[in-house]
């Protein structure tokens, strides 16, 4: 369905820009003038994306109402220091939850769930040694279709699984010290997910069926001071690569060559920081965004840099500085449609001032996904919607061999849900009445519990 979205909005997306520009907005300031981790997610599972950010003792939720941003407390009273925050479907029940680690609580990690009126907090696990936990990642590290939670810290990398009633530690992935978040993805382009994490250098762990096999990337040195890692198609050529941030060796891209990893320098820098990949501009090309500040040190101010691959020169080009931190570190960052207007933006916290920055390209990328944490999306050809534009009724045709129960939702451009219907044992055509819906542009979302389909729908 992505092709349909591109066609519908092609006129808007293809406006040429003579100069790369960014609009930087401060959506608010965190309590105690301190901000550290950040994630954009549908934390309440109501179809509305929000921005979640942390101090070292609290998590706050920021919601855009169409005009202004407002904040509300999610969790407080956490023993300093709350280090890392992410979101995902850790329980494999279709619901997104928040996951975070507490550096000073003896290696604990937590899960926060919205119950419809308040947040419930549950301990995911405690590192056996009682030492620190720092990073946290949710993903399918074993390639068995099951999400698990992975934490990093002073005494290694640990895996936690939900058994239907509680969390339990199911594996000590590696004993390598690690101080930053990890990433899970198809790093070797062989269809196998692997876990990447940072320690004295960057490591890759592969599930063998009974345990994890961990190897270091090339140029691995204990003096690198490894930090952030991300996996993705940074060159926009259909090949997944690993992108890492190190304190002394700079920012490096690793490509699997069949027998080892080939490194390419993205940027030479002697500073720690996070790294992120996103398609923030209208050309829908992935670019790499790099923080230049030590994540846990407020005295180290650092800008966010943008880099893109130049296929003509076969090297990485600096596009420029996205944002300059005036007084504090902008280390962690996340991309998402935080305003629920289908505009992909970059969000970054300022550690020493507590400011939450919202960064929008002058020619932004308009996306069609209902959540930042993207579930498995089925092939475009399996679902069709007609007519589009629609008037009175719209036909939704689902082509699949098995029948499934679907929840069909319609969202306005501000993220508000305007219609919800349940289609039982759907396989074939479903006719939905939209005669009572105001004329306009909407996002149609279908979910069967394991896959999500989304498409722009115009109602006349």
Burial label for 458, CB within 10 Å (0-12, 13-18, 19+), is middle
Which CATH superfamily does the domain covering 20-361 fall into?
A: Integrin alpha, N-terminal (2.130.10.130)
Most confident of 145-149, 376-380, 391-395, 430-434: 145-149
Task: With beta carbons less than 8 A apart as the criterion, state whether 123 and 109 touch.
Answer: yes
Question: What are the tens digits of pLDDT across the range 89-128?
Answer: 999 999 999 999 887 767 789 999 999 999 999 999 988 7
The Cα–Cα gap between 244 and 30 comes to 28
Question: What are the tens digits of pLDDT across the range 62-99?
Answer: 999 988 999 999 998 776 677 789 999 999 999 999 99
Is the pTM above the cut of 0.85? no
Which among 306, 354, 308 has a CA at the least distance from the CA of 330? 354
Please name the fold of domain 380-459.
Immunoglobulin-like (2.60.40)
The Cα–Cα gap between 308 and 286 comes to 8
Sign of CA dihedral 99, 361, 16, 388: positive
Better-predicted residue by pLDDT, 82 or 281 = 281
Q: Residue 332's pLDDT band (boundaries 50, 70, 90)?
A: confident
End-to-end CA distance of the chain: 20
Q: Residue 220's pLDDT band (boundaries 50, 70, 90)?
A: low
Residue 155 CA: distances (Å) to CA of 4, 128, 150, 309: 48, 9, 13, 36
- When the pLDDT of each residue in the chain is averaged and rounded to a whole number, the result is 80
The domain locations on the chain are 20-361, 380-459
For 452, other C-beta atoms within 10 Å of its C-beta total 19
The Cα–Cα gap between 99 and 110 comes to 6
**In the structure encoding, which two tokens stand for residue 54, read together?**
């942390």
pLDDT score for 370: 37
pLDDT score for 231: 92
**In the structure encoding, which two tokens stand for residue 371, read together?**
């959540």
Which among 300, 290, 294 has a CA at the least distance from the CA of 346? 290
Q: Is the pLDDT confidence value at 200 over 80?
A: no
Task: With beta carbons less than 8 A apart as the criterion, state whether 343 and 364 touch.
Answer: yes
pLDDT score for 79: 66
């Amino acid at each position: 369905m992505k092709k349909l979205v591109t066609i519908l909005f092609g006129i808007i997306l293809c406006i040429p820009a003579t100069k790369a520009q960014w609009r930087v907005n401060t959506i608010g300031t965190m309590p105690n003038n301190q901000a550290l981790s950040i994630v954009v997610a549908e934390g309440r599972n109501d179809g509305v994306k929000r921005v979640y950010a942390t101090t070292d003792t609290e998590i706050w939720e920021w919601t855009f109402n169409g005009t202004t941003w407002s904040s509300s407390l999610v969790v407080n009273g956490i023993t300093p220091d709350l280090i890392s925050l992410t979101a995902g479907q850790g329980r494999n029940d279709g619901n997104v939850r928040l996951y975070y680690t507490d550096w000073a609580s003896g290696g604990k990690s937590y899960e926060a769930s919205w119950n419809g009126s308040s947040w419930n907090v549950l301990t995911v696990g405690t590192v056996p040694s009682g030492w620190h936990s720092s990073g946290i990642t949710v993903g399918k590290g074993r390639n068995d279709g099951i999400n698990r939670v992975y934490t990093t810290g002073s005494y290694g990398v640990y895996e936690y699984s939900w058994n239907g009633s509680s969390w339990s530690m199911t594996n000590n992935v590696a004993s390598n010290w690690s101080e930053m978040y990890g990433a899970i993805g198809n790093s070797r382009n062989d269809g196998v997910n692997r876990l990447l994490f940072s320690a004295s250098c960057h490591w890759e762990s592969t599930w063998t069926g009974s345990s994890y096999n961990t190897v270091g990337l090339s140029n691995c040195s204990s003096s690198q001071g490894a930090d952030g890692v991300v996996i993705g198609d940074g060159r926009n050529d259909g090949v997944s690569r690993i992108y890492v941030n190190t304190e002394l060796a700079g920012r490096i891209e690793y490509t699997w060559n069949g027998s080892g990893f080939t490194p390419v320098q993205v940027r030479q820098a002697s500073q720690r920081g996070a790294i992120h990949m996103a398609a923030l501009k209208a050309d829908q090309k992935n670019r790499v965004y790099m923080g230049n500040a030590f994540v846990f040190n407020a005295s180290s101010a650092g800008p966010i840099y943008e880099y893109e691959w130049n296929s003509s020169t076969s090297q990485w080009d600096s596009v420029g500085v996205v944002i300059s931190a005036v007084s504090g570190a902008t280390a962690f960052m996340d991309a998402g449609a935080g305003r629920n207007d289908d505009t992909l933006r970059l969000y970054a916290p300022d550690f020493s001032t507590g400011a939450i920055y919202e960064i929008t390209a002058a020619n932004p990328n308009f996306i069609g996904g209902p959540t930042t944490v993207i579930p498995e999306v089925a092939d475009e050809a399996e679902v069709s919607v007609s007519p589009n534009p629609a008037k009175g009724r719209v036909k939704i045709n689902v082509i699949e061999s098995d029948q499934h129960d679907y929840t069909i939702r319609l969202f306005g451009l501000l993220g508000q849900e305007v219609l919800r219907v349940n289609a039982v044992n759907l396989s074939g055509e479903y006719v939905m009445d939209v005669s009572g819906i105001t004329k306009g542009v909407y996002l149609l979302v279908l979910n069967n519990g394991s896959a999500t389909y989304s498409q722009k729908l115009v109602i006349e």
